[in-house]
Chains A and B, each alone.
Chain A
Amino acid sequence: MLIDFFLHLKAKKLPVSTREFLTLLEALKEHVAGNSIDDFYFLARTCLVKDETHYDKFDQAFGEYFKGVTKLPGLDADIPEEWLKMLMKKHLTPEEKAKLEKLGWDKLMEEFKKRLEEQKERHAGGSKWIGTGGSSPFGHGGYHPEGIRIGGESAGNRTAIKVWENREYRNLDDTVELGTRNIKIALRRLRRFAREGAEDELDLDGTIAGTARNAGWLDIRMRPERHNKVKVLLFLDIGGSMDDHIKVCEELFSAAKSEFKHLEYYYFHNCIYDYVWKDNRRRHGERFPLWDVMHKYGEDYKVVVVGDATMSPYEILQPGGSVEYSNEEAGAVWLQRMLDTWPRAVWLNPEPERLWDYRHSIELVRTIFNNRMFPLTLAGLERAMRELNK
């Protein structure tokens, strides 16, 4: 049961797994939730969705799916019949159940459809939807999403449908789902362990040496534990010609975010000039001078620039060449300055490597970066990480 629902979520690219689905079924079996669709919505969400960034996707998929239920009579193929039957039976009185038996399921659905159409007109006329409930076997159909919405809840009683229809979590959905394992593994090459911080591990060799020197009196030596201390500064080109590459960039970003402890990121457009920004919605209100960024992050940061470097050569070579505003110094000056601050830097280019020679601006950036430009593919990523580790 509910398998179609599960597959629907899967088709909508929610990262749901069988294990979580079985948990949901177990929860239903244990009667964790009541029988209303609201409770079911909350329960399904808590079991299947493990990240608030997916809430919005889930709301949409759930709404779509259970809206499908209202269209039931026309579309028997897509609808989980048992689910609907079960849901309805739960709310029926014994007489209604008897009637249901008498009518038979097909007949009932037909009538249900008729009733629905009628209902729509009546709703337009301003009379209420749930009120008809008492006499009809469909009265409690009010639980299906359409019904609740039209019915209008009493004020203050917030129902789930409002949550999923309002899509309150839309803002949270800014990352890509976690299909990024390969990228993570590639990035893992960059890990570098070093001893730093509090001394909380016994240095056995040091202790033995020290004790020996003390003629047998114990001399305990401690040392800090090994940590992954790689620090990464990410600059992402956004907008314009980069729109074609949004997906792969999102994947890289989402992988990098979970892989490094010290990860800072900034956005730029086409080429890096005096300003970068952190939030694309407020890019004009909230900008960070590149000078500040250079002063803030020391040379132990490794810099990864992601961009297609596809622009007019003037944007790199000429002061005032920026497409956005009049820059006092040319992009090349800023890029060189960055490389002076952070000697370990690579440029990842989502454009295929074979096209690089045909674009003048790519050639320019590549020269400035001393040939450390790599394609944004798994292989390219590995080469880039090896370069950064040198």
Chain B
Amino acid sequence: MRFEGTNTYVATPDLMLAVNAAITLQRPLLIKGEPGTGKTMLAEEVAGALGVPLLQWHIKSTTKAQQGLYEYDAVSRLRDSQLGDEKVKDIANYIVKGVLWQAFEQGKPSVILIDEVDKADIEFPNDLLRELDRMEFHVYETRQTIRAAVRPIVIITSNNEKELPDAFLRRCFFHYIKFPDKETMGRIVDVHFPKLKQNLLREAMEVFFELREVPGMKKKPSTSELLDWLKLLVAEDIPPEALRSKDRKTVVPPLAGALLKNEQDVHLFERLVFMARQNR
């Protein structure tokens, strides 16, 4: 199994190498990068390209490591026992399987996405060390050990809100998705809008990269915002000339709302435009 990028996802050579290393050596792959650089998409695309099922586990601040393995629903068992339900005699009826369990019992390769692992509590990654290392865990309630016949491909994303423990990092491959340069970005846009007029694209990209250079921006526009903006430009049929006015520093680009998501940024940008006009 090798991953070579797909029709809908442009992977740089270093990213492909990291994915392939994780596939070959069967270790988890930790992906970091600016928001909107396609971290979550990667798992979907890897699963799609390899033709294996994708199991997603989205982490929230309240997520516990145990929930990925299984949960014992004691409350409903207690309630059932009050009602004299027959089900209550078998504890297995109250074990709810988590994402890792589901992946382990596939019996064929699969991709597990553990999305935004940094959202969870500090102890979360440590609690999963052994499970991800050995790909097995023990169910105390039913006294059985669940073991993966075929080790799944594990892709973990992080937004860097918290640092991850060293012991966890040591077991992973790591890749930082750098913000794409102009050329890679051109390929990404090509993949999403194959028919986009060449010069509209060029002009739009220049506006976009200039916007990213504005200092003090709270949230720099990212790839996904560029794609949204292009979608709008195409839908509104904006001519390329509108983007490149004679004095481009003095005009707010059309439909800029798709690129700037923060009112402080919009203000900042308008102020800069205003100042540029004054200086003319």
Contact = CB atoms under 8 A, between A and B. Distances in A.
Interface of A: 15, 17, 19-20, 23, 26-27, 30, 32-33, 38-39, 42-43, 45-47, 49-52, 55, 156, 158, 160, 168-169, 178, 197-198, 200, 202, 217-218, 220, 227-228, 254, 257-259, 261, 282, 285-286
B163 interface: yes
A286 B82 contact: no
B176 A15 contact: no
A32 B62 contact: no
A285 B216 contact: yes
Interface stretch (B40-48, B71-79, B197-205, B240-248): B71-79
Given A42-B13, A42-B17, A197-B62, A51 B174 contact: yes
B17 A15 contact: no
Interface string B114-136: 00000001100000000000000
B25 interface: yes
Contact of B163 (A45, A200, A217, A257): A257
A220 B21 contact: no
B166 A46 contact: no
Given A51-B169, A156-B183, A258 B163 contact: yes
Given A51-B174, A52-B176, A32 B20 contact: yes
A30 B13 contact: no
Given A42-B18, A202-B75, A286-B216, A258 B172 contact: no
22 contacts: A17-B170, A23-B25, A23-B27, A32-B25, A33-B17, A42-B13, A42-B18, A46-B14, A50-B172, A50-B174, A52-B32, A52-B176, A160-B14, A168-B178, A217-B82, A218-B78, A218-B82, A220-B79, A258-B163, A261-B162, A282-B216, A286-B216
Contacts of A261: 121-122, 162
Which DSSP category, helix, strand, loop or mixed, fits chain A's interface?
A: mixed
B6 interface: no
Nearest to B172: A50
B194 interface: no
A50 B169 contact: yes
A41 to B, nearest CB: 8
Contact of B122 (A15, A254, A258): A258
A227 to B, nearest CB: 8
Given A30-B24, A32-B17, A200-B62, A46 B78 contact: no
Given A19-B171, A200-B62, A259-B122, 7 more contacts: A23-B173, A26-B25, A27-B21, A32-B24, A39-B17, A46-B21, A50-B169
Contacts of B169: 50-51
Nearest to A207: B78
Interface in B180-198: 181, 183
Interface of B: 13-14, 17-18, 20-21, 24-25, 27, 30, 32, 62, 74-75, 78-79, 82, 121-122, 162-163, 165-166, 169-176, 178, 181, 183, 215-216
Contacts of B25: 23, 26-27, 30, 32
Contacts of B162: 257-258, 261
Contacts of B21: 27, 32-33, 43, 46-47
Contact of A15 (B166, B178, B216): B166
Nearest to B83: A218
Contacts of A158: 181, 183
A289 B172 CA distance: 42
B22 to A, nearest CB: 8
Contacts of B24: 27, 30, 32
A97 B218 CA distance: 58
Contact of A46 (B74, B171, B175): B175
Contacts of B170: 17, 19-20, 50
A43 B175 CA distance: 10
A218 B172 contact: no
